[in-house]
Amino acid sequence: MFPSGANLLLRCQPVAMTDEGGNRSAMILTLTETERQIALAISVAVGLCGLVLAAAGNQDTMEIHGWLILAIAAICAIIVIRGIWGPEPPKSRLQSYYDEPIKAGIIASMAWAVVAMFVGVWVAALLAFPDLTFDSAWASFGRLRPVHTSGVIFGFGGNALIATSLHVVQRTSRARLPDQLSAWFVLVGYNLFCILAASGYLLGVTQSKEYAEAEWYADIWLVIVWVTYFILYIRTLARRKEPHIYVANWYFMAFILVVAILHIINNLAIPVSLGHAKSYTIWSGVQDAMVQWWYGHNAVAFFLTAGFLGMLYYYLPIRAQRPIFSYRLSILSFWGITFFYMWAGSHHLHYTALPHWVQTLGMTFSVMLLVPSWASAGNALLTLNGAWHRVRDDATLRFMMVAAVFYGISTFEGSFLAIRPVNSLSHYTDWTVGHVHAGALGWVALITFGSLYTLVPSLWKREAMYSPALVEWHFWLSLAGTLVYIFAMWNSGIIQGLMWRTYTEEGTLAYSFLDSLRAMYPYYIARTLGGLLFLIGAVIGAYNMWRTIRAASAQAPFEGDVPLQAATAAGRA
């Protein structure tokens, strides 16, 4: 069983294929006539919901979101109407994978990356130069920060996960998506949620829950989209021509399923009225804190870890041209991560009103998490045995290698910070910020960039990226920005923690909060510089991908992969 899974990627060899549907004038022409009619009906229904929200939210910020939903639904309806009477897609489409929504997801991911990282640099600069709010409420730290965090996590990371998961499940299953419309509904619907969330934060609409700030009507919409995503993924797996479900798909399934459970439970709330954006959670007191950090830490576990490990286990072997070092170890790591992570969230609540035994339970499982986490990081690095010359010469593979290193570093740091005595020093300090960005920049962003650099030339049928030199620049800027950022925050956080716990001989605090704030000033400037370097790298990456997409097709016939039945037919021909 396991050896067959380990060699699955190597068995899926490229076979000649043609561009699906030829030169199409619009995305809508890839849908069947029935799917176009359903798409139009969905657009109208969503538009009507937006109109109802706008009418019900008279004089409330919900009214703005209602008109925004109506406008986006109208745009979608116009796109559908323009192509609704076009020709049916050819039957030959069934002989190739459906990659159009994957392409759109990549473009959306990079767009969100540039915007959200720009806001992140702005937010970092606010800590050193507070006048950058320009005396505007929407530009305050409290409103811009969730735009940055949700934009990077859900906009950049979420779109990348949707795109890569739909690519991986088709290739490892050797089966096309079961229909064309569902993937578009998931992608457009998910980005509608991201737009509602980000615009709401600027307007002051927030639940004040970390990584879950969006209000009740946006949360309900995300549930609908996410359930559709899960069903689409399962339907594709059910059509697979490969008997084995490759390990990357297990990580993606865990990501989709657990995120749905976390989102629903953490966002159970009662709105003030159906005409107001404001709502109140059904959880109260310490239970609210526990549910929030059960959600918050498992969002890190299954959104920012499991999903991106799915990327790692597919694109790293593909790029290195080596099978996974140990397929058995990848399976053991999956079940270890899935089980241990569920219990670790309470380590965010050390020294609070949470029962002491619950804090200890979270600390214990957090330390135990180091085993499956390092198993995954080690498995990735050992996969590169015999391929280190490629790491030296290929910046794309280097992105993935360094991502695996940062994954190992950040998971060790996370287990270390969860230990109660260590947490007494680190909690509420910038050390936590440095830890988060070691994972977000060093692990999540780098594995995403490496995966997209692998995927873009393949999907758009190019020999390689437009400029390998720009990929190199992107890599070194990203690495430099990450190191500057996290070292600044590590130093800042440790100094903060030590200053806050230093007492005079009389038993009073030796330093005021303002004293610690003055000590942070140079580190906040360094933090902004590190973020700026990373942002410049992301802009270079986006430009390189844009030029790759626009570049002339290679003269040589493109070799691509196709579903199993088409591959067999091509081989017989």
Indicate the average pLDDT of the chain.
91
Residue 388 in contact with residue 348, Cβ under 8 Å? no
Residue type, 253: M
Mention every residue, 6+ apart, whose C-beta is less than 8 A from residue 472: 395
- State how far the alpha carbon of 357 is from the alpha carbons of 8, 142, 219, 354, 360, in Å: 45, 33, 32, 9, 5
Give the mean model confidence (pLDDT) for residues 347-374: 95
Residue 209 in contact with residue 292, Cβ under 8 Å? yes
Please give the backbone phi and psi of residue 270, each rounded to the nearest 5 degrees, phi first: -120, 120
299 burial level (CB within 10 Å; 0-12, 13-18, 19+): buried
At residue 560, the 3 state secondary structure works out as strand
Give the mean model confidence (pLDDT) for residues 372-378: 97
pLDDT surpasses 80 at 17: no
pLDDT of residue 94: 87
Please give the backbone phi and psi of residue 509, each rounded to the nearest 5 degrees, phi first: -65, 135
Give the mean model confidence (pLDDT) for residues 334-357: 94
At residue 75, the 3 state secondary structure works out as helix
pLDDT of residue 497: 95
Write the DSSP symbol of residue 269.
E
* Token reading at 312: 């790692």
pLDDT surpasses 90 at 539: yes
Q: How confident is the model at residue 198 (pLDDT cuts 50, 70, 90)?
A: very high
pLDDT of residue 109: 98
pLDDT of residue 426: 94
Higher per-residue pLDDT: 573 or 352: 352
pLDDT of residue 8: 58
pLDDT surpasses 50 at 444: yes
Give the mean model confidence (pLDDT) for residues 421-438: 95
pLDDT of residue 5: 56
Percent of the chain scored above 70 by pLDDT?
92
CA angle 501, 506, 512 (to 5 degrees): 45
- State how far the alpha carbon of 37 is from the alpha carbons of 41, 94, 227, 305, in Å: 6, 20, 22, 38
Q: Nearest to residue 304, comparing CAs of 335, 337, 352?
A: 337
Q: Nearest to residue 456, comparing CAs of 93, 103, 70?
A: 103
CA contacts within 13 A on the Cβ side of 426: 24
Helix (H) or strand (E) holding 16: strand 15-16
> What's the length of the chain?
573
Higher per-residue pLDDT: 20 or 508: 508
Give the mean model confidence (pLDDT) for residues 233-250: 96
pLDDT surpasses 70 at 19: no
Write the DSSP symbol of residue 559.
E
Residue type, 91: K
Residue type, 288: D
CA 282 centroid distance within chain: 28
* Token reading at 86: 């076009």
Please give the backbone phi and psi of residue 279, each rounded to the nearest 5 degrees, phi first: -140, 165
pLDDT of residue 49: 96
Q: Nearest to residue 304, comparing CAs of 317, 295, 314?
A: 295
Residue 431 in contact with residue 490, Cβ under 8 Å? yes
Give the mean model confidence (pLDDT) for residues 128-147: 95
pLDDT of residue 564: 57
Q: How many beta carbons lie within 10 A of that of residue 172, not counting itself?
A: 24
195 burial level (CB within 10 Å; 0-12, 13-18, 19+): middle
Residue type, 194: C
Look at phi and psi of residue 511 and say left if phi exceeds 0, alpha if psi is from -120 to 50, else beta: beta
pLDDT of residue 92: 84
User: Which stretch of 9-13, 16-20, 369-373 has the lowest confidence by average pLDDT?
Assistant: 16-20
Q: How confident is the model at residue 29 (pLDDT cuts 50, 70, 90)?
A: confident
**Checking DSSP bridges between strand 279-281 and strand 269-271, what pairing results, if any?**
antiparallel
149 burial level (CB within 10 Å; 0-12, 13-18, 19+): buried
At residue 471, the 3 state secondary structure works out as helix
Q: At what angle do helices 307-320 and 395-417 cross, to 10 degrees?
A: 150
Q: How confident is the model at residue 546 (pLDDT cuts 50, 70, 90)?
A: very high
Mention every residue, 6+ apart, whose C-beta is less than 8 A from residue 30: 20, 21, 24, 89, 93, 98, 100, 180
* Token reading at 421: 């005595």
Q: Is the dihedral of CA 135, 140, 141, 142 positive or negative?
A: positive
pLDDT of residue 27: 82
pLDDT of residue 180: 95
Q: Nearest to residue 365, comparing CAs of 288, 298, 313?
A: 298
Residue 425 in contact with residue 352, Cβ under 8 Å? no
Q: What distance in Å separates the CA atoms of residue 240 and residue 176, rounded to the nearest whole number? A: 8
Q: How confident is the model at residue 91 (pLDDT cuts 50, 70, 90)?
A: confident
Q: What distance in Å separates the CA atoms of residue 173 and residue 558, rounded to the nearest whole number? A: 22
Give the mean model confidence (pLDDT) for residues 464-489: 97
* Token reading at 171: 């290739």
pLDDT of residue 22: 38
pLDDT of residue 25: 46
Q: What distance in Å separates the CA atoms of residue 52 and residue 57, rounded to the nearest whole number? A: 8
pLDDT surpasses 80 at 257: yes
Mention every residue, 6+ apart, whose C-beta is less than 8 A from residue 556: 463
* Token reading at 22: 């030829």
pLDDT of residue 310: 97
Q: What distance in Å separates the CA atoms of residue 296 and residue 299, rounded to the nearest whole number? A: 5
